[in-house]
């Protein structure tokens, strides 16, 4: 029973506070400030205030009123029309909008997915049929038909690697007689997150081991891939190496000589500096940058990852670059999710995957908005002279977003300098941009937190410009006025000359100017404070 009564009392208090929040606290020249408006500003600055006197609700209300009076004058003087102001506000608005253009749920899920792909590697092979990103529908269909036919051959029993060597348009799949390089038959080895373009990575991790994927598109064209295996990630290594580039018997003799010196406990770092022919690492004791699987040629990777303990040294081995000896410096296993989450989030935000987040936002907006297309108006897409059509013939509505009409003229303007893509592709991009633009334009009405923060910055920047004109420039440039102020207030200062305490006098003069300015603004303004609401506020914060 007691708990129920307490709950009811708490609810009544909450309802009372909520009701008070909507009431007027102060009216400044007919502009109303509610209790909630003042509380939002007061509480935002409360933690930065270090004295009880400075925390006074009455003192802060006085400062708030003075602030609003100054900002009002800045608007009266048209400071908001200054080009410098408009430019800075536009930049800040874009920065402030950024979080609202991301689907946070989508990103959180993507971070978890990328962490799984960081902890687990996939081994795959692929076949590529090239098709440019902006290929015409006819050419796209040709490429898709070709990759689909190749996939059918493999599903009907042909060996993937043989088909890859014969048909793949990825040059690395085939032997290169000129250089003597052996083709990889489509084999990519093991890889994990961020090693491939996102659509390729997605296909690899969503195809079962032993299975062949359906054809999928990347920026390079159409692919199919076959997954050979999955395994837990081996993490990353730091190693040092010694390289002898001579692949003949002479080179083998030299690397064996170096290896003998290592076994006789000569310092690896000194031997690297003396004998290694890798100019990029020899002066660093042979040390290489940290790497994971898929970054080095396979023999080097195998030798490095086979070392179990730090300071262990491999036997000499050969790659296409020459003869190597590797020393293990440190192992870096994959960190736990909570330790890696922020780093992965940053990587995702810097990668093309962020377009997926924007796409998720656009798809949500499409579902929420009333978007009506006018198919008849799209007839202009077929006109080869679309970019030179007169404006007066482009007044049909292409589509509307929540009642806002987007006309043909806007689309033609959009495609003017985009001549490398077909019109139908450009229209999809244009439509998405218009949906986002509509969302941005209405963000101040749909997101109160955004609107409040933007308003605070707009007013703060205006006040800065006004303070500079009214106070700071006057105190620093009007030397005669400063001297007069010093002479009138000489009794306050111990120094005999202005130059000895100019900084102190200038600060006092600025305060003097501001005090007079506030007095002038107050004198020609109508300020009404609701004393009842002020008393309730003082009591509310005094009891906290």
Chain segment 73-110, per-residue pLDDT in tens:
999 999 999 999 999 999 999 999 989 998 989 999 99
Q: How far apart are the first and last CA of the chain?
A: 26
Q: Which residues contact 247 (CB under 8 A, 6 or more apart)?
A: 318, 322, 323
Gap between the Cα atoms of 402 and 361, Å rounded: 17
Q: Helices 35-46 and 531-542 sit at what angle, rounded to 10 degrees?
A: 30
- Nearest to residue 384, comparing CAs of 346, 423, 433, 414? 423
Q: Is 207 helix (H, G, I), strand (E, B) or coil?
A: coil
Q: What is the pLDDT of residue 50?
A: 66
- Nearest to residue 181, comparing CAs of 191, 173, 189? 173
DSSP track, 36-87: HHHHHHHHHHHTT--STTTT-HHHHHHHHHHHHHHHHHHHHTTGGG-HHHHH
Q: What is the pLDDT of residue 166?
A: 96
Length of the chain: 544
Gap between the Cα atoms of 198 and 196, Å rounded: 6
- Please check whether residue 150 is in contact with residue 191, taking contact to mean a CB–CB distance below 8 angstroms: no
Q: What is the pLDDT of residue 466?
A: 92
Would you state the structure tokens that stand for residue 121, as one six-digit string?
């590697």
* Region for 97 from its dihedrals, namely left if φ exceeds 0, alpha if ψ lies in -120 to 50, beta otherwise: alpha
What number of other Cβ atoms are within 10 A of residue 484's Cβ? Answer: 12
Gap between the Cα atoms of 326 and 253, Å rounded: 17
- Please check whether residue 328 is in contact with residue 234, taking contact to mean a CB–CB distance below 8 angstroms: no
Q: What is the pLDDT of residues 524-542, one digit of tens each?
A: 999 999 999 999 998 888 7
Q: What is the pLDDT of residue 9?
A: 35
pTM for the whole thing?
Answer: 0.66
Q: What is the pLDDT of residue 29?
A: 93
Q: Output phi, psi for 249, to 5 deg.
A: -60, -30
Sign of the CA dihedral with 148 first, then 150, 154, and 160 last = negative
DSSP track, 392-428: GG--SEEEEETTEEEEHHHHHHHHTT--SS-HHHHHH
Q: What is the pLDDT of residue 13?
A: 35
**Residue ranges, the chain, pLDDT below 70:** 1-20, 48, 50-51, 543-544
Would you state the structure tokens that stand for residue 223, as one six-digit string?
């692919």
Q: What is the pLDDT of residue 454?
A: 94
Q: What is the pLDDT of residue 499?
A: 85
Beta-sheet strand order (sheet of 236-244) = 291-292, 236-244, 322-332, 317-319
Q: What is the pLDDT of residue 3?
A: 44
């Amino acid at each position: 029973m007691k708990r129920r009564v307490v709950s009811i009392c708490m609810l009544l208090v909450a309802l009372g506070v909520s009701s008070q929040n909507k009431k007027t606290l102060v009216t400044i020249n007919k502009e109303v400030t509610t209790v909630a408006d003042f509380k939002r500003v007061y509480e935002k600055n409360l933690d930065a205030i270090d004295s009880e006197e400075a925390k006074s609700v009455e003192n802060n209300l006085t400062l708030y009123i003075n602030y609003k009076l100054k900002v009002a004058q800045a608007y009266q003087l048209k400071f908001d029309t200054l080009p410098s102001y408009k430019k800075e506000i536009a930049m800040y608005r874009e920065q402030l909008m950024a979080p609202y253009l991301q689907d946070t749920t989508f990103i959180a899920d993507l971070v978890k997915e990328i962490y799984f792909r960081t902890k687990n590697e996939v081994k795959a092979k692929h076949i590529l049929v090239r098709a440019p990103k902006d290929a015409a529908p006819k050419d796209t269909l040709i490429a898709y038909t070709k990759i689909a036919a190749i996939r059918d051959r493999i599903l009907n029993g042909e060996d993937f690697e043989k088909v890859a060597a014969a048909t793949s348009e990825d040059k690395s799949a085939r032997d290169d007689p000129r250089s003597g390089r052996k083709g990889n038959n489509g084999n990519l080895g093991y890889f994990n997150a961020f090693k491939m373009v996102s659509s390729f990575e997605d296909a690899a991790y969503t195809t079962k081991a032993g299975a062949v994927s359906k054809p999928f598109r990347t920026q390079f064209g159409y692919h199919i891939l076959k997954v050979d295996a999955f395994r837990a990630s081996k993490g990353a290594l730091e190693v040092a190496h010694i390289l002898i580039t001579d692949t003949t018997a002479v080179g083998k003799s030299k690397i064996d000589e170096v290896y003998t010196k290592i076994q006789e406990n000569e310092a690896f770092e000194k031997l690297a500096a003396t004998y290694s022919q890798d100019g990029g690492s020899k002066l660093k004791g042979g040390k290489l940058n940290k790497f994971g699987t898929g970054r080095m040629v396979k023999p080097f990777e195998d030798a490095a990852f086979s070392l179990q303990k730090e300071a262990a040294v491999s036997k000499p081995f050969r790659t296409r670059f020459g003869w190597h000896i590797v020393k293990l410096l440190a192992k870096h296993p994959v960190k736990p999710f909570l330790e890696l989450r922020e780093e992965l989030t940053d990587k995702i935000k810097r990668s093309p995957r962020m377009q997926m987040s924007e796409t998720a936002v656009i798809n949500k907006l499409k579902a929420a908005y009333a978007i009506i297309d006018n198919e008849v108006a799209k007839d202009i897409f077929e006109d080869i002279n679309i970019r030179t059509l007169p404006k007066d013939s482009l007044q049909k509505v292409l589509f509307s977003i929540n009642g806002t009409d987007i006309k043909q003229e806007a689309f033609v303007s959009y495609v003017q300098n985009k001549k490398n893509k077909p019109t139908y592709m450009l229209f999809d991009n244009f439509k998405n941009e218009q949906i986002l633009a509509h969302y941005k334009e209405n963000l101040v009405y749909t997101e109160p937190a955004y609107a409040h923060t933007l308003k605070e910055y707009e007013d703060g920047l205006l006040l800065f410009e006004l303070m500079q004109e009214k106070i700071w420039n006057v105190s620093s440039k009007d030397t005669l006025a400063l001297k007069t102020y010093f002479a009138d207030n000489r009794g306050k200062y111990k120094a005999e000359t202005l130059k000895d305490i100019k900084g102190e006098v200038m600060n006092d003069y600025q305060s003097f100017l501001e005090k007079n300015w506030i007095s002038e603004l107050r004198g020609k303004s109508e300020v009404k404070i609701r004393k009842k609401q002020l008393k309730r506020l003082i009591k509310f914060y005094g009891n906290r």
